Structure 1
Amino acid sequence: MSASKGAAEKPHKKARTSPYPGSQVQRSQVPTEKVSWLVEWREYGPVEYTARSVLAGPVWADPQVGQRNFSPKFNEKDGHVDRRSQNGVYEVENGRPRNPAGRTGLVGRGLLGRWGPNHAADPILTRWKRDSKGSKVTHPVSGKDILQFAAIQRKDCGEWAIPGGMVDPGEKISTTLKREFGEEAMNSLQKSRAEMQELEKQLHKLFSQEHFVVYKGYVDDPRNTDNAWMETEAVNYHDETGEIMDHLPLEAGDDAKKVKWVDINDKLELYASHSQFIQLVAEKRGAHWSEDLYPESQG
């Protein structure tokens, strides 16, 4: 079986950071050269941790492995829960799935509900930056037009991010993308019925835009463990004229503290692997990304 097929090209970093989010738990240290399962490491002694919020048995979480009446079908569609990885088949050892990207220094599930892949969806909504006359703004060094995306500031860690979230069991990715953007960037959960009807129209227009799948697969996320990890499908919806997105009533809601349009460039520091997704969008759209690519243009 291919343990790391299609997983992160570079060894994951955020999945090895301590303390583990929302806790004082320190992972056992995993040097870069020991991340891969293909490297033998007999002394490897990861710390065991699953958050109380997960052990309490909420609807979005699996029971503990070995518990009665819980026999998950890993690498398969297990009822409404999709336990397949977008990176191919993952190994299962002693009833526990093994992270396809390698060791993290922590076993158990941490804050993640599912053993194995935890599926998320990340909607990246973009428009061109424009001046007061409505003309596209060009970057003075690269000479490329500047692209903006709708970003949220996460409540849990304060980092800026794409307004994504978890795919509900049996839910289509397209539904998750629209729902999460509505909840986090338009505060849909706090709207009246009349406001929701208007919002639904806007969301429908937005998500009928030209779009492409930016990335599908493993995410280097600080919540990952040896037995549970984040995967996402990041999709870019682009408003070429800006007519729809300019009138978008952005309002932070649910897991978001703030929401705003952010200029895309390589200086952005974003949550998990989000900078990588944003770079792919900029390259696909032929937008500005970095000044470093144009040294001859600098004084």
Structure 2
Amino acid sequence: MTETFETIRFTADVVVTTTDGYVLLIERGWDPHKGQWALPGGHVDPGETSRHAAARELAEEASLYAMPEELVQVGVFDAPDRDPRGRYVTVAYRFTVIPGLPIEAGDDAVNVQWWPLAALPPLAFDHADIIAAALTRTEG
């Protein structure tokens, strides 16, 4: 019997919502899904926890700062086909802020915007599912 191994990449995403019903999205500057809206997030660096990676990516992509301990874990998303580049497993976090915080696109985000939760654009990857899980977890 031949064993096969799959490379699995580890990422973290953040669902940032405001107390008045908006969610923070970035416009992706790179493929896959270049030009589409997505949650802030990215790869977990060596020696880093997913919670620290989530806080770092939020700062890098949206200039929004959170202490890692302020992020509430939503869940793990590991469907084999969630990313066209291969197998990616993400830990998603939620962070709630007051309305009106300034944001600025950076790193691989070409734009960043607050979107009403009731009128989201089509989202990259499985980010609509992650947002739904984040809302269910904190409201349920």
TM-score per shorter chain, which class? 0.7 to 0.9
Identity of aligned residues (%): 31
Alpha-carbon offset, residue 214 of structure 1 = 1.5
What TM-score results when the alignment is normalised by the length of structure 1? 0.41
Q: How does 1:193-204 map to 2 (within 5 A)?
A: 202-204=65-67
For 1:128, which of 8, 14, 19 is the aligned residue? 19
Counterpart of 2:74 in structure 1 is: 214
For 1:237, which of 95, 110, 113 is the aligned residue? 95
1:252 counterpart = 2:105:
yes
1:148 counterpart = 2:22:
yes
Stretches of structure 2 that go unaligned for 5 or more consecutive residues are none
- The amino acid of 1:151's aligned partner reads L
Alpha-carbon offset, residue 286 of structure 1 = 3.6
Residues 77 and 92 in structure 2, CA contact (< 8 A), matched pair in contact too: no
Alpha-carbon offset, residue 254 of structure 1 = 0.8
How many pairs are equivalent? 134
Counterpart of 2:44 in structure 1 is: 167
Counterpart of 1:3 in structure 2 is: none
Alpha-carbon offset, residue 92 of structure 1 = 4.0
Counterpart of 1:271 in structure 2 is: 124
Please give the secondary structure, in 2, of the residue aligned with 1:171: coil
Q: C-alpha distance in 2, partners of 1:152/1:212?
A: 20
Counterpart of 1:104 in structure 2 is: none
Alpha-carbon offset, residue 150 of structure 1 = 1.1
Please give the secondary structure, in 1, of the residue aligned with 2:103: coil
Q: C-alpha distance in 2, partners of 1:262/1:151?
A: 7
Counterpart of 1:84 in structure 2 is: none
Alpha-carbon offset, residue 250 of structure 1 = 0.4
Alpha-carbon offset, residue 167 of structure 1 = 0.3
Counterpart of 1:223 in structure 2 is: 85
What TM-score results when the alignment is normalised by the length of structure 2? 0.83
Alpha-carbon offset, residue 169 of structure 1 = 1.2
**Structure number with bigger Rg:** 1
Write out per-residue CA displacement over residues 67-113 of structure 1, whole angstroms, 9 at most, x where no aligned residue. Answer: xxxxxxxxxxxxxxxxxxxxxxxx942xx32xxxxxxxxxxxxxxxx
Greater percentage in strand: 2
Q: C-alpha distance in 1, partners of 2:13/2:115?
A: 16
CA RMSD of aligned residues (A): 2.4
Alpha-carbon offset, residue 285 of structure 1 = 3.7
1:177 counterpart = 2:54:
yes
Distance 1:208 1:249, change over 3 A: farther
Q: C-alpha distance in 1, partners of 2:55/2:120?
A: 28
Q: How does 1:2-21 map to 2 (within 5 A)?
A: none
Please give the secondary structure, in 2, of the residue aligned with 1:174: helix
Q: Greater relative contact order (Cα 8 A, min sep 6): structure 1 or 2?
A: 2
Alpha-carbon offset, residue 126 of structure 1 = 1.1
Alpha-carbon offset, residue 264 of structure 1 = 1.4
Q: C-alpha distance in 1, partners of 2:118/2:75?
A: 18
Write out per-residue CA displacement over residues 2-57 of structure 1, whole angstroms, 9 at most, x where no aligned residue. Answer: xxxxxxxxxxxxxxxxxxxxxxxxxxxxxxxxxxxxxxxxxxxxxxxxxxxxxxxx
Please give the secondary structure, in 2, of the residue aligned with 1:203: coil
Q: C-alpha distance in 2, partners of 1:185/1:92?
A: 42
Counterpart of 2:137 in structure 1 is: 284
